Amino acid sequence: MIQACIFDMDGVLVSTEKYHFEAWQRLAATLGIHIDEEFNENLKGVSRAVCIDLILAHGGVHKTEEEKRELAAQKNAWFLESISHINPVDVFPGVREFLTQLQMHGYKIALGSASKNAPLLLEKLQIAQFFEAVIDGNSIEKAKPNPEVFLKGAEALGVAPKNCVVFEDAISGVQAARSAGMYCIGVGSPAILTQANFCIQGLHEMTLERLREL
């Protein structure tokens, strides 16, 4: 029986995934590396530092650790610029309604995001109050597909992994949820999120009835 829902943030609750992609593309271009939407599927869900390594490997470019830190800082500055005007209307359709339903019916709710900007975004979007636990890029050591982020979420909520469902839009995130022994609902295309139990296009498709059927 499902007792808790753990949500990824970027691409599930809000459309910030496109700002990450734009910033990575801009950064890659400064290094003479081209990245497209297909390559971007590998960047979704993983930490900022791992993204840098993936992009450099993709372009066959070598950088020192210090240079990589500078590149990460530049990308984050661009990302922060993009989200500076984000506000509560940018939350995806159905998100607030579904979170409200879950809360009213006693489900536990956690965030399981790779982003270090998660607390800032939850505040800006005014949805922080829904989350009993927030596990983000500041509180984990191992990036998705490692299950750490979701296992910590379940632990913080006091719910066994098998009683948790994860909502994820990233291949790495779906893998993390499945290795954590959790049910996973993919948010996006089933052709991409092949390991998800099933996929929805967005949280506007979710209802408590669907959750109870799991």
Binding residues vs ligand BG6 (CB under 6 A): 9-10, 17, 20, 43-45, 47-48, 51, 76, 113-117, 137, 170
**Residue ranges in 48-202 assigned as alpha helix (H):** 48-59, 65-83, 95-104, 118-125, 148-157, 171-179
The CA-atom distances, in angstroms, between 144 and each of 78, 80, 90, 112, 113 are 23, 22, 25, 10, 9
The CA-atom distances, in angstroms, between 92 and each of 76, 85, 125, 201 are 22, 16, 10, 11
User: Which H or E run includes 26?
Assistant: helix 17-30
Q: How far is the CB of 132 from ligand BG6 (least distance, A)?
A: 20
Q: Per CB under 5 A, which region of 7-15, 65-73, 147-155, 196-204 contacts Mg ion?
A: 7-15
User: Residue 116: which of Mg ion, ligand BG6, none does it interact with, CB under 5 to 8 A by kind?
Assistant: ligand BG6
Which residues between 32 and 91 bind Mg ion (CB under 5 A)? Answer: none
Q: Say whether 53 is catalytic.
A: no
Classify 36 as helix, strand or coil. coil
Q: Say whether 36 is catalytic.
A: no
Written as six digits, the tokens of 17 are 């995934």
Binding-site string for Mg ion from residue 135 to residue 174, where x marks contact by CB under 5 A and - marks none:
----------------------------------xx----
Closer to Mg ion by CB, 8 or 136: give it.
8
Written as six digits, the tokens of 1 are 């029986």
Q: How far is the CB of 61 from Mg ion (least distance, A)?
A: 26
Catalytic residues: 8, 10
